[in-house]
Structure 1
Amino acid sequence: MRHEETEFLGGPLDGRVLEVLVGMTGQPPRVYKVPVGETTLVYHREPGKRGTHRTRWVFVFDPEGKPPPGPKWPWSRRG
């Protein structure tokens, strides 16, 4: 399995760089969930900007935990 270092922005993991498992395309998952006790922290993937971020991909904290925006295909379920 391949891992890639990814920076986290916002929330309790702000500023940390963790190794995240990447898929066959070399991209980390769109949503990264971190269970903490009875709650779950939700982070969404965004491309990192050169010069601003340390890594190629960045996970941004979502306090509401909404699904990421994107195409709504009839065969896929979100939630």
Structure 2
Amino acid sequence: MAETEPVKSQDTPFEGGPMDGRVLPVLVGPTGHPPKTYRIPVPAPDGGPPTVLVYRRVPRGHSKRLGLIQGWKYQYDPDDTSGGKLRWPWSKPGATPSGKPDDANG
């Protein structure tokens, strides 16, 4: 059986919203970067559908000489419009995952 590499995580700070000031270990992908969007489901007190807090990855800072990104942080995004859907570069705005325009809204 092949030996697997340990899962890597990076301590990432959160800014704004209910998670402001917290630092959480976030799993990093094969490129060494955390995901672009971090969603946190918060259960409703009355047992209804959970509220989802959305945070977007932004650069923590840049180096002086080369302008390279020196790490990442998550910033609260209360107006998330992505709806959790994947957006491919070749997709038209407002298209459903099948690639056809969404006629339900029009």
Sort the TM-score into its range (normalised by shorter chain). Answer: 0.7 to 0.9
Q: Normalised by the size of structure 1, how large is the TM-score? A: 0.78
Q: Return structure 1 stretches of 4+ with deviation > 4 angstroms.
A: 75-79
Please tell me whether residue 40 in structure 1 is matched to residue 55 in structure 2: no
Which structure has the higher relative contact order (CA within 8 Å, separation 6+)? 1
- Asked if the contact 1:41/1:65 (under 8 Å) is kept, the reply is no
How many percent of aligned residue pairs carry the same amino acid?
42
Unaligned ranges ≥5, structure 2: 1-6, 44-49, 63-69, 98-106
Q: Distance in 2 between matches of 1:23 and 1:60?
A: 19
Label 1:21 to 1:78 Cα distance change in 2 as closer, same or farther (>3 A): farther
- Paired position in structure 1 for 2:28: 22
Residues 40-76 of structure 1: CA deviation (Å, up to 9, x unaligned): 00000001026xxxx8211000011233xxx961159
Residue 73 in structure 1 maps to residue 93 in structure 2: no
TM-score by length of 2: 0.59
Distance 1:11 1:24, change over 3 A: same
Aligned residues between the structures = 72
CA distance, structure 1, for counterparts of residue 58 and residue 89 of structure 2: 21
Instruction: Please identify which structure carries the higher strand content.
Output: 1
Gaps of 5+ in 1: none
Is the radius of gyration larger for structure 1 or structure 2? Answer: 2
Aligned partner letter, 1:35: P
